[in-house]
Each structure stands twice: as structure tokens, then as C-alpha cells.
Amino acid sequence: MQRMTGLLVGAIFGAVFVVVNAQSPLNAVTVNFLRVAACLGAAGVVAMWFATARKEKPAAGPRRNMFGRGYLIVVAAEAVLLFGGLRVLAAWGRPEQTNVAWVAFVVGVHFIALAPVWKDRGIAVPGVVLTLLGVAGLVLASTAAVAWVPFVSGVLSGLVLLTGAATFGRRAMTARTA
């Protein structure tokens, strides 16, 4: 259930990334399609979470807590990097679009750092992708293509989170029924 809760959080944040960052220079039809698809994807993960919660039986004996000390250390470091980095970017006078690239970068690094904490190499995969999308956005922010940063670092990162959450959620549900 803890894993499904982690996937739920990823799906919600993924949907928020898409909804907030799907904007110009994309056309209105594409923006609306992406936003609706993101909300439907998140709703699907919410439904999987509820289905899992309904079927899950309490485990006998001690369980490993995914949200223990290691997790809290990573999240605390993430918060410091996230908010500290945003302040630094503002102090340097970087374009506003740079913020979403920084957020994607930090969230990606947070997933990479969680892989050994959770003893799950699979979580490093979306972490690497988000980190790269963040770096791409940071580079784009220094070019004439700065308007595309929210798409590259925001929308694409959100879609990675949503796709990963839906895929791993589905696999978890399929494994339980098998």
C-alpha cells in the first residue's frame, strides 16, 4: 500500500506539472488535450489506489516503512535545494521559466537519491529522465527558445511521472491478482 501511495503522490504531482505548464507556445487544442489527459491519468491512479486499499489485507509482522528516516532526509534536502535554488535564480535575474526547469531537476535528483533508500533501482529511471528534462530546460532558458521551457521541463516531466505511476500501479495490481 505504501508503494501505491508513492505512485499516487507521483501521479498527482505529474498532473499538476502538466496542468500548470501546458500553455503557450502550444496551441489551445493541444493545451486542453494535455490537461484533460493528465487529469484522467491521475484519476486512473487514484482509482488504482482505492482498489488496492480495498483489497489489501494487513500484513502479518513488521513491515518496512518507505517513509522513514532516509525518506525524510531526502525530502528535507529537496526542500532546501528547491526553495534555495529558486531564490538564487531570482537573485541572478533568470527568466521565470527557469523555475520549472529547476523544479524538474531537483525532483529528478530526489528520485535518484531515493533509489538506494527504498532499495528500488526502478525509481531512478524517472529520476534520471526528470533530471535530464530539468537540465534541458535550464539550457533552453538561456536561449531564444525560453518559451518552450515549461513544455520541456514541466509538461514532459509531468507526463513521465504520470506514465510511470500508471504503469507501475497497473503492474502492482496485476501482480496481486495473479
Residue 50: what pLDDT? 92
- Pair 159, 38: CB distance under 8 Å: yes
Residue 36: what pLDDT? 98
State the DSSP code for 57.
P
pLDDT digits (tens, 9 = 90+) for 134-148: 999 999 999 999 999
pTM comes to: 0.90
Spatial distance between the Cα atoms of 161 and 115, rounded to a whole number of angstroms: 15
Containing structural domain, residue 100 = 2-177
147: Cα separation from own chain's centroid: 21
Domain total of the chain:
1
Cell triple for residue 150?
Answer: 515549461
pLDDT higher than threshold 80 for residue 111: yes
Asked if the bond preceding 25 is cis, omega within 30° of 0, the reply is yes
pLDDT digits (tens, 9 = 90+) for 17-49: 999 999 999 999 999 999 999 999 999 999 999
pLDDT higher than threshold 70 for residue 6: yes
Higher pLDDT, 61 or 7: 7
pLDDT higher than threshold 70 for residue 92: yes
Q: What share of the chain in percent tops pLDDT 70?
A: 94
Residue 175: what pLDDT? 77
